[in-house]
Chain A
Amino acid sequence: MKRPENELTAKDFQKNTKTARRLLAYLLRATDRAINIKSMSRDRFNSRSGEIETSLVPLAVSEHTGLGFYRAFCARFGVSVSGADSEWGPIEVWLPEGRMRWDALLAAIDYSDLRLVIQENPGFFASFATNRDEIIGEDEEFDMFPEPKTVGCYIPKLPEVLIQPRALRTVWTTIGPLSRGADSKTGNVTMFGRELAINPLTGKRAYVPLFSGNSVRGMMRDQIMGRWLGLLGVKTTDLPPFRAHALLSGGHVDKGADGAKVNNEVRSRVRGVCPPWDLVAGCIEQQIMSGRARVNDAIIVCQETAWQTYGAVNPGVPLLEWAESLPEACMMTTMRLETHHKHAEIPESDGDQMLVNIEVIPKGCQLMHSFQLWGIDGVEPVTQACFADWLEDFRAIGYVGAKNAHGMGGIAFDPYLPGPGTPELPDPAIYLDFVEKHKQEAIDWLMSPKASTDAVPSAAKPKVKRGKKELVEEPIQPDAAFEDGLL
């Protein structure tokens, strides 16, 4: 391809997603061609498409401007944007209709569009950038890609007054970086999970960091069961494994549990003897049960979610004004660099030394969170008191998410307040008294075998051994980790 004669500027382009996708693809192609093969190993050079693919999302997330993103990208691949390492001058992008200097091109891209198209498919950019020869007609393909977000397609009229479901709400403020953990890994970067959300004020779609209610519920289950067992003075390793599994992980659906006879005795006994179970429930002894607690997603306070959060966070300010004062969702995360040291000086050290990047919500951000007690009027006072007790405990612990041992996930919040029509929770002392009075009954239940094993095939029809050693349930010595606490 010959150098185009026509010089383009940012004003020649309309800022939108399609423009961002096309210009970024050509920019990365130009950058790839500026990579000096001598600046890296041949293996790395040959596999650079993979490196480009895995580096794009973390770089787009960790930087907050187009210039910053491109600086970081060029630094990673040893490219001088000013052309210091070549005789050709600053990097120039060759488009079919003309040429453009890299900085003019970045000025034509909105950064939220850049993030959106990168998160849509980083592999596309890596493929386009590293393709050896231009393909005839490839530029026309950009027009065929659908828009990943729709601008102004539907803007509903938001209601002025809503009937709020009865719930308890608060607003968390992060006092340390918040990691969600367990999302997709991009290279050596663990990302913060995102979910598509719609901003009804603008009609735009965006990927908003997601802290799901299910993850809060898992943490709640751990803490509330741990506290109950702690009050009883029982260790989880003292329990029959099936019961520990039910209490701490919700149990499993035995074969036949879905069609098994409903055992009223088991159901009422477990709800009566174990108030935390009444809240989180699960499947126990072939009984699939519903918990009373419904744990909602923690909604991060940003422009896209302003319509959901303004009533809880800043009710006095008009919605539009409030939304405009907030950052966009794409600006709500940053990168945290951690290192894992090999300690090679220690003989037989078999660790790997590596750098690990974790995408986090930085400290100072806010998330709106709520719980609902399903049919709160009929929830037993002891169960409500158990919930109140745990809320106090949760506030005192003040950690959510992953990497707590690394100092991440610290949050601060005011006590959860009942919404309109929601009764106050009772005094936690009711729960503590109950546990004290029914201690022996609870321990007897915890240590008891399964109430019924009718439909458990392993119990009814023991399988013929085929030479494999059967795992036998037997007590193990509690290790030091369990000496101090339960979990």
Chain B
Amino acid sequence: MTHPSGSEFMSPSPEYIRNTWAFANSSWREAARRHWSPRPTDSVKVTAWMAAPVAWDGYDPITLEGALQSAVVLRETGRTPDDVFVGCPSDASLEDADIQIPISDVPIHVEGRAIPIACCSVGRFSEDAVPTLRYIRKRPRAENYRTKIVNIAMAEYKASNIPVATVTCTSITFWVLGDAERLRDLLRDCGHLGAHRSGGLGSVLGWEVTVDATSAHWPAWQDERGRLMRSVPDSLCEYAIGFERRAANLRAPYWHKRTQALCKVPIVEVAA
């Protein structure tokens, strides 16, 4: 094998490949691809009716794909995503670490590589949305520790009262091109959106999944007024409005910088 620079280098040995995370996890990822790839591509409006405020800092929009990916991992492996992805190298390629969900993708060439962009808008809050605040408290049960003195004001036993920026709204809506039936099935395991889920933030009362068979244009990327509906590479959606240009990630999980590029990121507003 020859490097583009002309120098020769060794390709990975079969033994090395067998020891990689990608190889060890290929079977369930392949099963996920079979089970959850979208068969029909419906125009689907997914509405999450909220039972609690959703944690949102106003920077990166709320997305649906990560929640669906978690649900797929749980369905296919029975283990939590953080346990499944232990050992997955942070520089693993998309081909080795991507998780199939029932949403259609469009591969887009960005900076010399093809990145599948999901046909799914970011979450749009209902018009009654209002910014709120939730405090998350944690206190050490100091009297149960085998130490003479527990300093709850600092260091490892510090008690905390952390404010979390939240949005209170009745619903959050996503416009998706994907498989409605599979989405309906998978959403039963998506009980929360956003961060701080274990304490109830972002709790979903129920999902409403409606298919629109008549619409000629579906606002998964851009709505009819030209408003940008999800993060896209800067080269796309030339005439879009309602976005900011900055570095962002294009593929779930969105915290991972694997697909970071210069993007148009939709601006999501919350009324005061």
Contact = CB atoms under 8 A, between A and B. Distances in A.
B189 to A, nearest CB: 6
A249 B74 contact: no
* Contact residues on A (Cβ < 8 Å of other chain), bracket: 35 or more
Given A244-B145, A471-B148, 6 more contacts: A198-B130, A198-B168, A222-B141, A239-B146, A249-B140, A289-B82
Nearest to B147: A241
B147 to A, nearest CB: 5
Contacts of A297: 51-52, 200, 203
B127 A294 contact: no
A400 B145 CA distance: 23
A214 B200 contact: yes
Given A156-B171, A296-B51, A375-B80, A205 B148 contact: no
Contact of A164 (B86, B144, B188, B197): B188
11 contacts: A146-B272, A159-B206, A162-B206, A163-B188, A163-B207, A218-B138, A222-B141, A295-B199, A295-B200, A375-B74, A476-B148
B31 interface: no
A288 interface: yes
B157 interface: yes
Contacts of A445: none
Nearest to B139: A249
Contact of B168 (A195, A271, A475): A195
A421 B188 contact: yes
Interface string B159-197: 000000000111100000000000010011111100011
B134 interface: yes
A154 B127 contact: yes
Nearest to B206: A162
A64 interface: no
Interface string B133-155: 01011111101111111100000
A249 B187 contact: no
Interface string A162-184: 11111100000000000000100
Contacts of A473: 146-147
Nearest to A146: B272
Nearest to B141: A248
* Contact residues on B (Cβ < 8 Å of other chain), bracket: 35 or more
Contacts of B86: 262, 264, 267
Contacts of B158: 252
A295 B202 CA distance: 11
B191 A294 contact: yes
Interface in B24-83: 47, 49, 51-53, 70-71, 73-75, 77-83
Most buried by A among B71, B86, B184, B196: B86
B120 interface: no
Given A162-B208, A377-B74, A212 B199 contact: yes
Interface string A122-164: 0000000000000000000000001000100110101101111
Interface of B: 47, 49, 51-53, 70-71, 73-75, 77-83, 86-87, 126-128, 130, 132, 134, 136-141, 143-150, 156-158, 168-171, 184, 187-192, 196-201, 203-209, 272
A158 B47 CA distance: 11
Nearest to A237: B146
A250 B170 CA distance: 31
Contact of B156 (A205, A217, A242, A293): A242
A414 interface: no
B204 A165 contact: yes
A205 B128 CA distance: 9
The 3 closest A-B pairs by CB, nearest first: A213-B200, A378-B78, A162-B206
A81 to B, nearest CB: 37
Given A244-B144, A248-B141, A262-B87, A166 B156 contact: no
Contacts of B53: 195
Interface in A244-274: 244-245, 248-250, 252, 254, 262, 264, 267-268, 271
Contact of B208 (A163, A244, A245, A293): A163
B157 A166 contact: no
A308 interface: yes
A487 B80 contact: no
A186 interface: no
A203 interface: yes
A487 B148 CA distance: 17
Contacts of B204: 165
B52 A165 contact: no
Contacts of B82: 288-290
A308 B74 CA distance: 27
B206 A163 contact: yes
Contacts of B143: 481
Contact of B203 (A196, A215, A296, A481): A296
A218 B141 CA distance: 10
Most buried by A among B82, B145, B148: B145
Given A249-B139, A249-B141, A262-B87, A165 B207 contact: yes
A292 interface: yes
A262 B134 CA distance: 31
A415 interface: no
A374 B203 contact: no
A67 to B, nearest CB: 32
A188 B178 CA distance: 57
Contact of A240 (B127, B146, B196): B146
Contact of B128 (A153, A214, A487): A153
A144 B47 CA distance: 36
A352 B51 CA distance: 43
Given A162-B205, A308-B51, A375-B74, A205 B140 contact: no
B199 A166 contact: no
Most buried by A among B53, B71, B205: B205
A72 to B, nearest CB: 29
Given A214-B136, A267-B86, A162 B147 contact: no
A411 interface: no
A238 interface: yes
Contacts of B272: 146
A216 B197 CA distance: 13
Interface in A201-221: 203, 205, 212-218
Interface string A109-125: 00000000000000000
A295 B128 CA distance: 25
A291 interface: yes
A236 interface: yes
Contacts of B75: 375, 377-378
A313 to B, nearest CB: 13
Contacts of A196: 130, 132, 168
Contacts of A288: 82
